[in-house]
Copies of this chain bind each other. A is one copy, B any other.
Amino acid sequence: MSANAKNLFRKLSISCKDCSLGELCIPHDLDQVDIERLDDSVNHTKLLHTGDVLYEQGASFKSLYAVKSGSVKICASQEGSGDTVMGIYLPGEVIGFDGLSTERHQCTISALETSSICEINLDDLQKNIPTIFRKLLKHASKRINQSRDVFSANKQSAEKRIVLFLLDLSKRYQQRGYVYTEFNLLLTRSELGELLDLTPETVSRGLRKIERDQLISIQNQRHIKIIDLDGLNRLVKIEKES
């Protein structure tokens, strides 16, 4: 744990220039000079622990953020019923766009594990790199296309939706160079249900079925090991042919 904390601190002090996320995050689109300018607009020291809130629905918009390490969930709270999970974000992903149109955030972001966050001040950024907003549009576009995928996925059967979620996570871990055949679901069955529009019972049954079919194994209820990646891919691809 202390080694872990130390490691974390090292990461926290890293500038955009040296950040390993380069290709996945904003610097991707920038040249060296601009990356240094970017650094001046970014606060790299925000640390969240599990459950900590980055911003709340209704809060006035201050800045965009990028996940540097860890992971966060994005929730929308409907009136009456509490928060419902809408997605999770991994390192390199830019969040906060939900607050731009109305100057108030429409969603709540909270940490699923100890996470470090970079805060991107838009006003500073405009001064330092006036052309940056065109690049940011790309990130917003990515978010839009993501919701298109969710839209499509939610038309599938319960089991397929669960598998699609696992495959999506796996792919995103892979893109980040992490182990992608084995990871922790950082959500409860209930939260997964909100995300996939299923009840916790159905999520549980689905996961157990996939385990019985020897496609994954589940340890400690949350730790997923993918045994047969091709099998999972086949499962969700059958539907497309028919």
Contact = CB atoms under 8 A, between A and B. Distances in A.
Given A147-B151, A151-B86, A137 B240 contact: no
A120 to B, nearest CB: 12
Given A133-B133, A150-B151, A197-B155, A141 B101 contact: yes
A155 to B, nearest CB: 5
Interface in A122-149: 122, 126, 130-131, 133-134, 136-145, 147-148
A18 interface: no
Nearest to A194: B155
A80 interface: yes
Q: Which of A80, A130, A147 has the largest count of B CB atoms less than 10 A from its CB?
A: A147
A93 to B, nearest CB: 12
Copies in the complex: 2
Contacts of A136: 133, 137
A122 B96 CA distance: 23
B81 A138 contact: no
A138 B122 CA distance: 13
A86 B122 CA distance: 31
Contacts of A112: none
Interface of A: 76, 78-81, 84, 86, 97-102, 106-107, 122, 126, 130-131, 133-134, 136-145, 147-148, 150-152, 154-155, 197, 240-242
